[in-house]
Amino acid sequence: MNGSQQCLDLFAKIFLNSGDPVGMERPGYLGAIEAFSLYEPVIHTVPLEDKGLDPIAFESLVKKDLPKFFYGIPNSQNPSGRTYSQENRKAVADILKSTDTVFYEDDAFGELFFDARPRLPVKKFLPDQAVISGSFSKIVAPGMRIGWMYAPKEIIMRFNVVKQAADLHSNFLSQMILYRYLTTNNLDDHIRKITRVYQRKCRLMCDLFDDFLPQIAHTHPEGGMFLSATLPPGISSRVVFDEGVRQKVAVLPGLPFYVDGGGTDTIRLNFSSAPEKQITEGMHRLVQVIRRLGKR
């Protein structure tokens, strides 16, 4: 695949017609919202909690709305950074077993756990009713737009048809570069290196929140690249974004991640790319922005 984003687009093309129901997390990954929305589905959401999907809300959605598929990111979710517990994964699979709903498991961050301990996928508990996709862009290089999908045979056969119609085949040059890298380097060593770096940056960002803005609730990621924070009452994430740009510190407002409204008081932060010194400076600027807005 030309990146895992293409997996989302082609999967939606296979499964969705205008008006079809589809489920996803709340908040949900913006790239998936954009990919699915082109096919005009009705998107239903389930709240994402610290340990995964709200099981009562999830079961209600599945049985009431009968979604064609449910899209989720069980590992280090984007935008929240949350990870489903193993109990939650099994509960999700058990609920789906008596339905026709397929679980789409986006595993873009599954190899980026700080403790280097892999988590069992939902597909482990739902082998014939779940698909997994991922990308080498998160573990080799951002520009390496090569994705992959693991799915039941009947889905793969349909996928191959729409893939060929979309672009004939994926970028051959990138595939050869990736093949050369994987056969001449130790990918596991590389992943351990980057996760150690990401862990330090994540802990730094969390510690700075706790030290300077203890009233702000934020997630505590076990891996991945993102965390989210809830702003004090009365402070808009959009205003924080606008004022932050003026102070040369960038965060993403939560609004685009909520298809059914919300996110006005949440922000997403990325800790993967900036050096630790820059994170420290950026967090100090963000603290000043939030403090000033809180005095208005």
CATH number of the domain residue 18 falls in: 3.40.640.10
**Are 161 and 216 part of one and the same domain?**
no
What's the pTM value of the predicted model, to 2 decimals?
0.96
Q: Are 79 and 226 in contact (CB under 8 A)?
A: yes
**CATH number of residue 248's parent domain:** 3.90.1150.10
Q: Please state, in angstroms and rounded to a whole number, the distance separating the CA atoms of residues 273 and 201.
A: 9
**Are 40 and 167 part of one and the same domain?**
yes
Q: Name the token pair of 242.
A: 């606008």
State which of 130, 147, 181 marks the end of a domain. 181
Q: Please state, in angstroms and rounded to a whole number, the distance separating the CA atoms of residues 109 and 77.
A: 8
**Are 116 and 226 part of one and the same domain?**
no
How many domains is the chain partitioned into structurally?
2
**Are 196 and 71 part of one and the same domain?**
no
Residues of the domain holding 212: 188-294
The pLDDT of residue 81 is 98
Beta bridge partner(s), residue 223: 113
Q: Are 221 and 75 in contact (CB under 8 A)?
A: no
The pLDDT of residue 200 is 98
The pLDDT of residue 296 is 64
**Are 27 and 59 part of one and the same domain?**
yes
Q: Scan for tokens 């950026």, then name that residue.
A: 282
Q: Please state, in angstroms and rounded to a whole number, the distance separating the CA atoms of residues 220 and 136.
A: 24
- State phi, psi for 152 to the nearest 5 degrees: -55, 150
Return per-residue pLDDT of the chain as tens, 296 residues. 888 999 999 999 999 999 999 999 999 999 999 999 999 999 999 999 999 999 999 999 999 999 999 999 999 999 999 999 999 999 999 999 989 999 999 999 999 999 999 999 999 999 999 999 999 999 999 888 899 999 999 999 999 999 999 998 898 999 999 999 999 999 999 999 999 999 999 999 999 999 999 999 999 999 999 999 999 999 999 999 999 999 999 999 999 999 999 999 999 999 999 999 999 999 999 999 999 998 76
**Are 41 and 176 part of one and the same domain?**
yes
